[in-house]
Amino acid sequence: MIKLLHHLNFIAMTKMHLPRRDFLKKSIVASAALYTGFHERSYAFSPLPEVTVVNPLNRVPVSLIIDDSTALVNMAHFGIPQFHEVFPENYPQDWRKLPCEIPDSFVREFGEWCLDHDVKGKYSMVPYPACTGWLHRVIPGWTEKELKDSLKLVRDFMMPNWDIHPEMISHTRVINIKTGLPYPDALPEYMENWEWSQNKSADELGSYMAYALNILKEAGLYCEGITTPGGFGSKNMDNLAQGTLDAVRDVFKAEIPHFFRDVITDPNESVEPRLFHVSGLDSNDPRCSVHIIGCTDDWFGGWDGMTPGSPDLHITEDLQKGRLVEVIDKGEPAILVCHWPGVYFNGEKTGFNIFKQVVSRLNQKYKNLIWMKNSEIARYWVAKRLTDITSHDDEIVFKAPFGTERFTVHINKKIRKMILTHDGKEYILEKTSDPLYLRPGIYCWDQTGTLVSFDLAKGISGLKFSY
């Protein structure tokens, strides 16, 4: 089912500036290219089995989005004076008090803790951070070895569990991609955070994003997605989604490009990923892009590293309330949002310590969470929405334009024996008595039927069964 959706919550930034990602907290309405599909894919052909796609391993996805990160450069220190030049009344912070560097030692400390706690998400690498220098060339103020070591740390230590995104090119001034130079006028019309992107075509936005992606590619970083800085593309969503699709496929050949643009904190709004520009589902070249949506504001340390947050806004000490509780209890992906300067908090690590508390509280309350990268969530939701499922007397057939790991369905009948078929091969599935032990190739009973998980292959697969 295709719904017409678009985003009407853009603020007139030439008159006022709101904190990053405050653009979509209350409403998402019609936009011509957005594919939402059904809330759940259910097929009721009584007395044939009813099949519903559920979350991966029947768990709730959780992910952490880290914005304004890059190699070495503290984006707040170098970005605030550029924002102040455009909107002086909105950026009074004394940026000189902020350190110019977020050291690699902190990247390693943070990464090690996340690895120990199975935390995954998205980590930005701004290609030309606040116009200080280029990740694939040189950043004045740091040696060539320091830059190379920093990039290697991200490649080796972060990339396995974190999607890498460009956050456009500079996150401050718009860059003339023909010359590689910032446009000379410090006006909203020439800042990435504000007006420049709002009237650009999909081709223009795609070319701009491809420029950023190619820098990261030359720096040895792999990307399947894009993060927008501030209000970039906030009232130009169709073109932003198409530009992302074109740029990421062109530069990295990624099958399912995704992008992070918005945050929704209204409990009445869904935060499930949105599919854009779905096409070619019956061809050898299916296409779409996916909008990943955050569910929290930055309640860690702020985008500038000057605004201490609180874990209670995410989940209270008694584990009963908070934005994450609202989202997780609905079974939707709980995607937290933070900014790297606020996580580091000028060496005090205030945001990092708050995040540790949040993770601890989540682990106390829930046993059914699964940490995933943004790209993994995007892929799963594409499979969930676009896989065609047909029930027969003794088999369920899946026609999948895109494959995904840990694909999980609920069948409203208790199945005693189950065999997965694909490409002429058969795989006998195993039964467990505990839903928390569900893994690909395993099924279990619950009160209303059978949960089964398997790696969904692209093309035609089947589940043969007997009662």
Residue 393 has a pLDDT of 87
Residue 26 has a pLDDT of 35
Which stretches does DSSP call E strand in 402-447? 404-411, 417-422, 425-428, 430-432, 442-446
Residue 90 has a pLDDT of 96
Q: For the chain, which domains are there?
A: 5-39+60-379 (3.20.20.370), 387-466 (no CATH)
Q: Residues 195, 239: contact at Cβ < 8 Å?
A: no
Q: Which residues contact 343 (CB under 8 A, 6 or more apart)?
A: 66, 110, 300, 301, 349, 351, 352, 355
pLDDT, averaged in runs of 10, over the chain (467 residues): 35 37 38 43 62 98 98 98 97 97 98 98 98 98 98 97 98 98 96 98 98 98 98 98 98 98 98 98 97 98 96 98 98 98 98 98 98 98 98 95 98 96 96 95 96 98 93
Tokens of 59: 């768990």
Radius of gyration over every alpha carbon of the chain, rounded to an integer in angstroms: 23
Residue type, 116: D
Question: Half-sphere exposure of residue 282, counting CA atoms within 13 Å on the CB side?
Answer: 0
Q: Which residues contact 33 (CB under 8 A, 6 or more apart)?
A: 237, 238, 241, 242, 276, 277
Q: Is 248 left (phi over 0), alpha (psi -120 to 50) or beta?
A: alpha
Residue 181 has a pLDDT of 97
C-alpha distance across the termini of the chain, in Å:
32
Q: Compute the distance between CA of residue 164 and CA of residue 138 in angstroms, rounded to an integer.
A: 20
